[in-house]
Amino acid sequence: QVQLVESGGGLVQAGGSLRLSCAASGSIFSINIMGWYRQAPGKQRELVATITSGGSTNYVDSVKGRFTISRGNVKNTVYLQMNSLKPEDTAVYYCYALDRVVPRWGQGTQVTVSS
């Protein structure tokens, strides 16, 4: 089984940057896709970005050109570089991994962008 631990959230002013990190442990060689989702108060959890084991990336339209997802030199890490942050990016960000066919989630890290 795969376990995920996020770090790097916090409070930042609009226009600022943050970098989220996610470290996977356990059966990491069964991971096909890693990524980030977010959930704002009163809203459904939404996809932010994903990256496949081959390096292909996918982003929600609202973050294209501002956020960059990448994987570390070892298979079990994924990062989300967030630039030009907006108040509407405020949410709990969850690391995600597709463990063969089973989705795994981290505990979430809060990102708050003040105007």
**What is the strand order of the sheet 67-71 is part of?**
2-7, 18-26, 77-82, 67-71
Question: 89 falls in which pLDDT band (50, 70, 90)?
Answer: very high
Cα 14 from Cα 114, distance rounded (Å): 6
**Model confidence over 25-75: pLDDT tens digits?**
988 888 889 999 999 999 999 999 999 988 999 999 999 999 999 998 776
| Predicted confidence (pLDDT) per residue in 7-22, tens digit | 999 999 999 999 999 9
Cα distance from N-terminal residue to C-terminal residue, the chain: 40
